[in-house]
Amino acid sequence: MSATQRILLVEDDDTLAETLVEQLALHPEFSLTRAETAKQALDITQKTSFDLILLDVGLPDQDGRETCKIIRQKGIKTPVVMLTGASTDADTILGLDAGANDYITKPFRFGILLARMRAHLRSQQNSESAVLAIGPYDLRAAVKVLEVRESGEKIRLTEKETNILKFLHRAQGAAVPREVLLHEVWGYNAEVSTHTLETHIYRLRQKIETDPSDAQILRTVDGGYCLNL
């Protein structure tokens, strides 16, 4: 888990969005990205992963509930908190298959939103203490250990190595572009180059690959990396 919690705000109302941007800026643990339409939200969630999504129900191009449903269909498990208008029937928000985790009715007090956000981020992190299967290994991200499933032998990882594996695992075997992985692991404001990432990948392969020069688990693909799960 990188120190910064990446929040995606999907909201077409400039006044509300600007207020939230200002208020969240006072909390350095959050980095906020804004999308104004459902289309922008779907595009960006395709390329980048977030720790939490705040999703307006009344988007100009789509009902936010439908957007949430599509996000879930794409396999994205990020907690979604819907921002609803007072006139929206709140019961339908968490309804059957939209897949939202929570909703908050406008107008809301910032403190209430913040408390909800933190609660969802915490429960997400707890679920991340689960064991992730990667090839012959089990990744225990919370303790930065890769365990050989058969022998129980433990390989210690650095925090960056753990996060690299975690984010690649999240892509479920799909290719993750270098730039995306770099941002995921080092954060958006970090001034690191892809060379830094490549150095970490090199060291990680020394630890996990039988033949690091012919990687079979952490594979290089066109423009990025993927995991052979």
Judged by beta carbon, residue 42 or residue 165, the one nearer Ca ion is 42
Q: Which two tokens stand for residue 10?
A: 């999907």
Contact 87, 117 (CB under 8 A): no
Q: Which two tokens stand for residue 191?
A: 């001034």
For the CB of residue 33, give the shortest distance to Ca ion in the complex, in Å: 17
Residue nearest to Ca ion (CB): 58
- Residue that is written with structure tokens 């120190």 in the block: 3
Q: How many CA atoms lie within 13 A of 129 on its CB side?
A: 6
Judged by beta carbon, residue 64 or residue 224, the one nearer Ca ion is 64
Judged by beta carbon, residue 12 or residue 184, the one nearer Ca ion is 12
For the CB of residue 42, give the shortest distance to Ca ion in the complex, in Å: 16
Q: Which two tokens stand for residue 212?
A: 């690091």
For the CB of residue 49, give the shortest distance to Ca ion in the complex, in Å: 24
Q: Which of the 8 DSSP states describes residue 141?
A: G
Give phi and psi for 39, each to the nearest 5: -60, -45
Q: How far apart are the first and last CA of the chain?
A: 20
Q: Which residue from 60, 58, 47 is spatially nearest to 8, judged by alpha carbons?
A: 47
Judged by beta carbon, residue 34 or residue 166, the one nearer Ca ion is 34
Judged by beta carbon, residue 100 or residue 204, the one nearer Ca ion is 100
For the CB of residue 162, give the shortest distance to Ca ion in the complex, in Å: 38
Going edge to edge, which strands form the sheet with 224-227? Answer: 176-177, 224-227, 218-221
The residues of the shown chain that bind Ca ion, judged by CB under 5 A, are 12, 56, 58
Strands 224-227 and 176-177: antiparallel
**CA-CA distance, 43 to 176, in Å (whole number)?**
15
For the CB of residue 50, give the shortest distance to Ca ion in the complex, in Å: 19
Judged by beta carbon, residue 67 or residue 163, the one nearer Ca ion is 67
For the CB of residue 13, give the shortest distance to Ca ion in the complex, in Å: 5
